[in-house]
Chain A
């Protein structure tokens, strides 16, 4: 992953000042989980977006200002919810342990 920041996805080409980024990694016993699904739910719990994790267990959303919930689904694991606060100009990093 050329240009990757330590422990995370590369932000090359992303104008961080204009985006409210929520990103992170899904881990099981400290190991990346490449076949998980992460859903972004809005403040009312409504589905907004969903992405599969990358080969290194990473995910990223371009959200908006406010409170969000990340719901992570993975094989042989119960769903895990994590609250996250996003704001434009900031990268919210979330590690999800399943």
Chain B
């Protein structure tokens, strides 16, 4: 993967607003943002209801994902362009989620909703009407999804990249200042994980930094690109943003997103936890 295959500019999207094979999908942390105005023709996915099992803590299964995309009018051969607010956190999460279920032609709108708004581009409240499809998903590609036991096994062995803010990493905060407090029992981080906040990979307008800047960022932070990598944050949304950078923009071979992230790890009984600004010992 590369920047050319996985990222599109606002200009490109504007030129493809009327392309029937390009499906724009808004996925926002604020699930009401779409209703106040969205890119023309874009459909909405609600990460809290459409993409989560409503009983267990897990994703919807393959059949539910197929039913969802069929009902919303997404076809297997469509080019899906994801975008959202908050610097594309949840759009990147949806991108990773679509990858997990094997969608082939996927793009992220560089800068997301913010860049689009800052450019004063058109937004509409008009709802699109897409004909239903018969979508077929693949089994989950677990080469990009990490579970708790893999996170524990990676301590001192693989790259663990914790992309939360420095205060969350150190254990001074349990969640970002503006978010609902879905919290773990304990504060801190996985021992030996390095802290590279997701925001260091993005410019103020939400677009990604250049490949050269991104390579320098992770090299300076001590990421060993000969090793496998697991990215984590609090609930797996910001780490999807970093997963996108490492896997899709920089082309690292083995990068997994740990969607259980700190809300799971920090509630496990008996696992090691480090607090403070240093990674800590294995």
Question: What residues of chain A have their CB less than 8 Å away from a CB belonging to chain B?
Answer: 35, 37, 39-40, 42, 44, 46-52, 61-64, 71, 73-76, 79
Contact = CB atoms under 8 A, between A and B. Distances in A.
- Please list the 9 inter-chain residue pairs (A to B) with the smallest Cβ-Cβ separation, ordered nearest first: A47-B199, A75-B120, A49-B178, A49-B177, A62-B177, A75-B118, A49-B176, A61-B177, A35-B117
Given A48-B165, A51-B178, A62-B177, 10 more contacts: A35-B117, A39-B204, A46-B166, A46-B197, A49-B177, A50-B86, A64-B172, A64-B173, A73-B204, A74-B118
> Interface majority SS on A: helix, strand, loop or mixed?
strand
Nearest to A60: B178
B119 to A, nearest CB: 7
Given A39-B204, A46-B197, A61 B118 contact: no
Interface in B62-78: none
Interface of B: 85-87, 114, 117-120, 165-167, 172-173, 176-178, 197, 199, 204-205
Contact of B114 (A37, A42, A79): A37
A73 B118 contact: yes
Nearest to A51: B178
B87 A50 contact: yes
Contacts of B87: 50
B38 to A, nearest CB: 14
Contacts of B120: 75-76
B31 to A, nearest CB: 14
A47 B119 contact: no
A74 B118 CA distance: 6
Contacts of A75: 117-120
A48 B119 contact: no
Contacts of A37: 114, 117-118
Nearest to A77: B118
A69 to B, nearest CB: 12
